[in-house]
Amino acid sequence: MFGSKKSKRVYLDYAAATPLSREAKAAMLPYLTDSFANPNAIHREGQTARNAVEAARDSIAHTFEIRPEFITFTSGGTEANNLAIRGAVMAVRRENQPLGELEVITLKTEHPATQKTVAALKKRGVSVQYAPVDDVGLIKIEAFQKLLSEKTVLVSVAYTNSEIGVIQKLHALRKAIRQAEEKFGTTILLHVDAAQAPLWLKCQFDALKADLVSFDASKCNGPKGVGLLLRSRRVELVPVTYGGGQENGLRPGTENVAGAVGAAVAFQEAQKNWKRRTAAVAAVRDAAIEHIHSELPQVILNGPVGEQRQANNINISIPGLDTEFATVVLDKHGFAVSTKSACAGAGGGESTVVREISNDPARATSTLRISLSPDTKLKDLERLTAVLKQHINKMAKYSR
Amino acid sequence: MFGSKKSKRVYLDYAAATPLSREAKAAMLPYLTDSFANPNAIHREGQTARNAVEAARDSIAHTFEIRPEFITFTSGGTEANNLAIRGAVMAVRRENQPLGELEVITLKTEHPATQKTVAALKKRGVSVQYAPVDDVGLIKIEAFQKLLSEKTVLVSVAYTNSEIGVIQKLHALRKAIRQAEEKFGTTILLHVDAAQAPLWLKCQFDALKADLVSFDASKCNGPKGVGLLLRSRRVELVPVTYGGGQENGLRPGTENVAGAVGAAVAFQEAQKNWKRRTAAVAAVRDAAIEHIHSELPQVILNGPVGEQRQANNINISIPGLDTEFATVVLDKHGFAVSTKSACAGAGGGESTVVREISNDPARATSTLRISLSPDTKLKDLERLTAVLKQHINKMAKYSR
């Protein structure tokens, strides 16, 4: 569909979905067909499938520099976040302890998988605090530090925000958490949703300074329906769904063998080349942002500039413009972009992320997210800017 | 791997896993690569993915004769059972109602996905009753009827048992439930786990007389990692994991587009030919059971004979024999069989199913499950019997 001369399309929604890499696909195919057995069976066919799952786990362990037994396969980033947050909070709860004695700290700018999981815990009585963020989405560390209390058992933040690309300073968070742990004599787990990160940032487990890290293969050229939860030695978890003893009792159901195999290849490729990929794409991004600003001075960039921004993320607001309609117009001209995150409802409604950083409804309801692929060219973004400018001028005429 | 002359293998673990059909694979491939977009995006690529998911849902709706809006895609049969059981019980619970006022009835012979989900509810306070089964695993309807009470909100049973193949009489269950509903003026939902059924039995939604039906694509020549939950108009559900609004708010996370497409093809094929497939395989099964009995008179068949047994299931006990070791020996001779269900731990330990129907530890610890494929030949099962007989004789010599 893409790349044919007849209908040249420019796909700029890489934060929502990425194509399966040729290597990941090739690795998966044998496990879709010939080697189809259940990895829990003890016969030869079962062992072939078991070996494939465990080789995938070993590969992922190597990629993220963590021991394989601390890796759990899930059905995606959403389930990984559910398992991390609900699984960890419920595991630290003592028998009959009121849930109100346990506190979770997160952000109002988080992905729905985190927001809604935390909200479900809150409904059951868990105490929830929201750490404030500044006008580019960065956590205000001092305010965050003040929120940490004797009750805090878990902090859940995204490494990079899926809408505005802000990269949180995990070292500073960890430092604040460690100080609180020492002060209160407690354990405070840090969960990092790194679903958007592997193509663009180093995700070595220790470097992230987290106790729990979520990934989603479909965001980095792996298959849809496969996620990961990595955990540190000090994390106890309870499952969020129940059944067979697969994944060390943490995630029941027959393993998605082909999915695990494809994911392992995708994560490896993503992490192997992240630095070069990031440098190249960030240069295109920055030139494009500059171009957009020069052509459309009224545009507001959401999120930070420079190194604190995920390399492939551009998110702008055009106050007064119906950007949902603009997305449709851009689509007709061959550009696939979105207004916000697909899971937050890619269509209408305001961006809760931009509302939170700006407290400006006009800005929050006029967002455009342009997420670049490693192949995006500056001239494509210049063409997009021209189409957008033409559309804005046309709209201005109508509204006069 | 299979079918090569060099290492002719006979795969007899069709209840644990089935190969992806050529048609399902062909349907999936475009959605693994070219049409990779997120179905929640509003651009053209997103709409292509959305259309694929909804066309898959429509196809499944046609296959099972249900409206598409009552179909939820999950990550497998296990998750479907979790959503059915926990989702339905939690949805009928009134604000602040003590969970002890709600009762679930199930069987001790159920798959772990049901057993463990019910156990988790029990731990939270839900009342649980186990309906007794007879010596072939059939629910004792009169005793079941007596268990139904004003508190009963859900009954959860497998259509066919994954270990011993017994097919429950759903019409009789529904009749008993309807009488109780009239007597108590309540609603009692019937959840049927039909994961093993589509290749062998008609699974038209209305014919199953259930309110909730679970399926797993990987059990009928579809991909691993895809399940379904079908529900009737009167069912309310709450999700078991939290996140984006996908699947009508019942199952968050980016849809596994290729998986949904492959599953739709697999379910359609399974149901199109079930009758012919069942007639052919049941004939092989019955001839094989007769042959095993004549060669090994000490063998006990677990589960019913004839039409009340899933066409491809043979489950025998050989009291005194270490059948886990026998499985390994058979594997060396080219036969892939299991002792029990893969999710129940395909290796050692007793079968809780056979223990429940027999109350005989010797029988429960010496099970062999031989689950036939549509291509299984009687002569393969005769060869298996010969290997098994030789092995039994050898073991008898050692124990003398």
The answer to whether the Cβ–Cβ distance between B38 and A346 falls below 8 Å is: yes
What are the strands, taking DSSP E only, across A64-187? 71-74, 103-106, 127-130, 152-158
* Whether residues A15 and A43 fall in one domain: no
Residues of chain B with pLDDT under 50: 1-6
In a shared domain, residues B192 and B332? no
Q: What span, in angstroms and rounded, lies between the C-alpha atoms of A326 and A316?
A: 12
Q: Which residues of chain A lie closer than 8 angstroms to B253, CB-CB?
A: 75-79, 113, 343
Q: Are A75 and A205 contained in the same domain?
A: yes
Pair (B198, B305) in one structural domain: no
Q: Grade residue A346 by pLDDT with cuts at 50, 70 and 90.
A: low
> Alpha carbon B116 to chain centroid distance?
15
Residues of chain B contacting A82 with CB distance shorter than 8 Å: 241-243
Within-domain flag for A5: no
- Is the confidence at residue A5, as pLDDT, over 60? no
Domain boundary among B245, B272, B299: B272
Contact A42 B343 (CB under 8 A): no
Instruction: Tell me the C-alpha to C-alpha distance, in Å, between residue B321 and each of B103, B353, B368.
Output: 40, 18, 10
- The predicted-structure confidence for A228-240, as pLDDT tens digits, reads as follows 999 999 999 999 9
B175 touches A: beta carbon within 8 Å: no
| Distances from the Cα of B343 to the Cα of A243, B14, B107, angstroms | 8, 14, 17
Residues B71 and B186 in one domain: yes
CATH code of B316's domain: 3.90.1150.10
As for how many domains chain A has, the answer is 2
Domain final residue, candidates A225, A243, A272: A272
For the stretch B349-400, pLDDT in tens is 799 999 999 999 999 999 999 999 999 999 999 999 999 999 999 998 887 6
**Confidence at residue B8, expressed as pLDDT on a 0 to 100 scale:** 87
Q: Are residues A160 and A237 in the same domain?
A: yes
Rounded to a whole number of angstroms, the distance from the CA of B361 to the nearest CA of chain A is: 22
Give the whole-angstrom CA distance, residue B238 versus residue B155.
Answer: 17
Q: Which band of pLDDT confidence, cut at 50, 70 and 90, is reported for residue A400?
A: low
Cβ contact, residue pair B1, A35, below 8 Å: yes
Domain membership of residue A1 (yes or no) is no
CB contact under 8 A, A43 and B347: no
Q: Is A380 on the interface with B (CB under 8 A)?
A: no
Give the closest-approach CA distance of B273 to chain A in angstroms. Answer: 21
Taking a C-beta distance cutoff of 8 angstroms, is the pair A224, B254 a contact?
A: yes
Of B36, B310, B51, which Cα lies nearest the Cα of B200?
B310
ipTM: 0.95
Instruction: Tell me which residues of chain A, numbers 72 to 111, contact chain B at a CB-CB cutoff of 8 Å.
Output: 75-79, 81-82, 111
**Domain shared by A119 and A198, yes or no:** yes
Same domain, B121 and B250: yes
Tell me whether residues A342 and B41 touch, CB distance under 8 A: yes
Lowest mean pLDDT among A244-248, A288-292, B22-26: A244-248
- Per the annotation, the verdict on A343 as an active-site residue is yes
Predicted confidence at residue B6, as pLDDT, reads 46
Rounded to 5°, the CA angle B346-B347-B352 comes to 70
Q: Which of A343, A346, A362, A387 is catalytic?
A: A343
**Which chain A residues are within 8 Å of B335, Cβ to Cβ?**
43
B32 touches chain A (CB under 8 A): yes
Same domain, A372 and A297: yes
Domain boundary among B272, B288, B313: B272
Map residue A84 onto helix, strand or coil. Answer: helix
Is A60 in contact with B36 (CB distance < 8 Å)?
no
Residues A113-123 have a mean pLDDT of: 97
- Shortest CA gap A105–chain B (Å): 17
Q: Mean per-residue pLDDT for A180-195? A: 98
Q: How many angstroms separate the CA atoms of A228 and A195, rounded?
A: 9
Range(s) of the domain holding residue B395: 10-20+274-399
Q: Are B40 and A346 a contacting pair at CB < 8 A? A: yes
Answer yes or no: do B342 and A79 touch at CB < 8 A: no
B294 and B314 share a domain? yes
Assess whether A195 and A319 both reside in one domain: no
A373 contact B CB<8A: no
For chain B, what percentages of helix, strand and coil (3-state, to nearest 5) are there? 45, 15, 40
- Best A31, A32, A53 member to test B by mutation, with max B CBs in 10 Å, is A32
pLDDT bucket at A397, cuts 50 / 70 / 90? confident
Residues A263-280 have a mean pLDDT of 97
Do residues B15 and B58 share a domain?
no
How far, in Å, CA of B80 to CA of B103, rounded? 20
